[in-house]
Amino acid sequence: MDTVTYPQQDVQAFIREHFVPVQFNVLERPEIKRQFNSGWTPTLIVQDADGHEHRRSYGYLDAKRFVGEMVLAWLMDAIDRQDWSAAKTRTEEARRLTAGDLTREPETLYWSAVANYMASADQTGLKDGWELLMERFSDSDWAKKAEFIRHL
Amino acid sequence: MSDVVWRKSLEEARPEARRERKLVLIDLFNPK
């Protein structure tokens, strides 16, 4: 990550805008793996200032996937706080930054529909958003999580 | 554009995150 991903300008810009980054070398501080309940590196954990965890990722990520993980962490922070107005705004950036990422774009579409629904209390937003997800990524786990809405 | 400055502790990062309304990104890495 230090060699390939972190030097990328889009990665650095996104970190600076939304995060205060902390690095722990697990060889120098082996107790850190236990402290964060992680047995593998690299592990990326996103917490808020109170220490509440909003997302976790194991293994190497290239720049595109790293930014996708980080924008989803930023989105999940708003969702976990039930700040639906912020969540709706953040889904717009998440949709832009995860476009073409077959793992993260379906997840973004899922949460985008949820945020639209919760921000407006209009169930149409949920149904339409999940239909788009199921149409575009029918085999994804996120589409499978949404399928039940067709039976309501 | 300056490089990202990685902090060395949560005690340093959390007050800054609270003040600047940001999240804390924690990277556990093995240099080998």
- The verdict on residue A23 lying in a domain is yes
Average pLDDT over residues A18-40: 96
Q: Check residue A121 and give its pLDDT.
A: 86
Percent share of chain B, pLDDT over 70: 94
In chain B, which residues have their Cβ closer than 8 Å to the Cβ of A34?
A: none
Buried-exposed string A119-144: b where 16+ CB fall within 10 A, e elsewhere: beeeeebbbebbeebbeebeebebbe
| Model confidence pTM above 0.80 | yes
Q: How would you class A35 by CB atoms within 10 Å of its CB: exposed for 0-12, middle for 13-18, buried for 19 or more?
A: exposed
Of A18, A25, A74, the CB nearest to B31: A25
Q: Check residue B1 and give its pLDDT.
A: 47
Reported as a single tens digit per residue, the pLDDT across A66-95 is 999 999 999 999 999 999 999 999 999 999
Of B3, B7, B28, the CB nearest to A20: B7
Distance from CA of B23 to the nearest CA of A (A): 5
The CATH number of whichever domain residue A29 belongs to comes to 1.25.40
Average pLDDT over residues A42-64: 98
- The verdict on residue A1 lying in a domain is no
**Nearest residue on chain A to B13, alpha-carbon basis:** A20
**By residue range, what is the domain housing residue A41?**
9-151
- Residues 6+ positions from A124 with CB-CB distance below 8 Å: none
Q: Which is more confident, A118 or A121? A: A118
- The verdict on residue A47 lying in a domain is yes
Question: Distance from first CA to last CA of chain B, Å, rounded?
Answer: 28
Q: Check residue B3 and give its pLDDT.
A: 83
- The verdict on residue A4 lying in a domain is no
A10-14, A122-126, A145-149, B10-14: lowest mean pLDDT where? A122-126
- Residue B24 CB neighbour total at 10 angstroms: 24
Q: Check residue B2 and give its pLDDT.
A: 56
Number of domains in chain A: 1
Above 0.85 for ipTM, yes or no?
yes
